[in-house]
Each structure stands twice: as C-alpha cells, then as structure tokens.
Amino acid sequence: MATAADAPLHLEMDGIEKSLRGTSVLRGAELHVRRGTTAVVLGPSGAGKSVLLRHAVGLLRPDAGTVRLDGRRIDDLPERELNAVRLRIGVVFQGAALFDSMDVAANVAFPLEAIGIGPGSERDDRVHRALRTVGLADRGAAMPVELSGGQRKRVAIARAIVLEPEIVFYDEPTTGLDPPRADLVNRLIVRLRDERGVTGIVVTHDLASAFAVADRMTMLTDGRTIFAGTPDELRHAPDPRVQAFLHAQATPEELDAIRGERTP
C-alpha cells in the first residue's frame, strides 16, 4: 500500500539564501514536502521560518536557490504567472489577519472577490462550505471583534480554503490559543490533509502542535536547515541544537554568549 513517503514531491526549496536590510536571514535553507502530507518547520525565533514561508508562496524571491512546485521552478516566474500559481495556495497568517471592518462572511469571501466571483449564489455557497468545514457556519454575520481568538483562527482557515487550494501554509496557527482551542486547530489541519488531500506546511515553535500534525519535520537554526525527517527521528536526533530546542533549553553557544565568552 502506498504511504506518505511514496507520494510525489509537491514543493521543493533548495539552497535558499536571503538577506533583508543587509542582514543574512536564510543561508542555504532547504524544505521538501510531499503531496498530501503535512510538513512542520520548527526553529527558535529569528531562525528564518516565516521568511522561508514567504518564499514558498512567492511573496519574496530568493537571492540564491530555487523553489519548485510539482517540479516546475516558480521563483523566477514573472508576476503574472506567479499570480496564477498563488491561486493554488492558501495562507493562514499569524494572528489571523482578518479585516475588522468586514463581517466573517465578507472576510472569507475576499479571495473570491479577487478572482471575480462577486455577490451571488456561487460565492454564498463557497463561503458557507468553508465556514461549515471549520465549524462556524452560523457565524457569517458576526464581526471579528465578536469572536474568540480560536474562532478568528478558524475563520482565517476558512478564508484560506475557500478557493479549494492544493497547499495551505499555516504561519504560527496556534499562537495565543489555550490548549483546547489549539487542539481544535490542529485537528482541522489533520482533517484537511486526510479528507481533502491538502498539502500542509506549518511554521511553528509550538512543539505540542508540531507533533500533533506533522508527517515530517524540518528544523532551521540561523537560516540553515539542520534537520529533516520524521517526528520520531527528530526526537532522537543527535544534534545538540535539536535536543536543546526540544527540551526548551538554551544552546551551549547561547549560554557562552551571556557569560561573555563568545557571540552566538
């Protein structure tokens, strides 16, 4: 029987380098994701996780390296062709990023408006299906300020899937949520993979969430990929930087730095 490991590569990022405002953020980072699986990108703050995500969706272009979707290079596409690629991708932004002046239904419908699907039965049906998927079919008329943090995250997921994308990127999807609400978001990520075959890429530092959703994990440190493998392989990885992260400990280099012995 075919397994996730047998699935074809959906997204390939190799040798990604990027400097922002004169600071090197990514230093040859790599990420390989198979179709219909969920990949988690881990790492400490400042490791380059969110910057890598922006390259995957075409919001940034690398200074060096390549990004391929289904084997086709996309990092060098002209903007018009890249816009067509983006329609295959949904994004759940950190903090949900809802429009406070729009009700829930209008927030979810926003991507449909962008491709020319205006008010009418098709738009209403798509919005209702997306909200039903995240368990908020009765909240379309609510304003974002009336929602809990967990509900806002679920509306953001509904907006990300309203175009029925092949890939969904989740940027810190459980940040700020209590454990039960985080569990609900995790279950939605798994459900979208299992029931719709959605390829998921989750950027997080929430280890409980990471192990709940991941088929494979990639860890970044200082803009470099230092680990790629299964969750079980991550638990037993010999790299002390990986183990320090898993056990919420400072690395030896960081400890040396605060003693004044060396700069990390």
Position 252 scores a pLDDT of 65
Among 129-138, 214-223, 225-234, 254-263, the range scoring the smallest mean pLDDT is: 254-263
Residue 205: band (very low, low, confident or very high) from pLDDT cuts 50, 70, 90? confident
Position 95 scores a pLDDT of 78
Q: What CA–CA distance (Å, rounded) separates 88 from 47?
A: 27
Q: Would you list the domain boundaries of the chain?
A: 89-164
Position 146 scores a pLDDT of 94
Position 2 scores a pLDDT of 40
Among 65-74, 194-203, 250-259, the range scoring the smallest mean pLDDT is: 250-259
The stretch 82-86 carries a mean pLDDT of 88
Share of the chain above pLDDT 90, in %: 66
Identify whether the C-beta of residue 169 lies closer than 8 Å to the C-beta of residue 203: yes
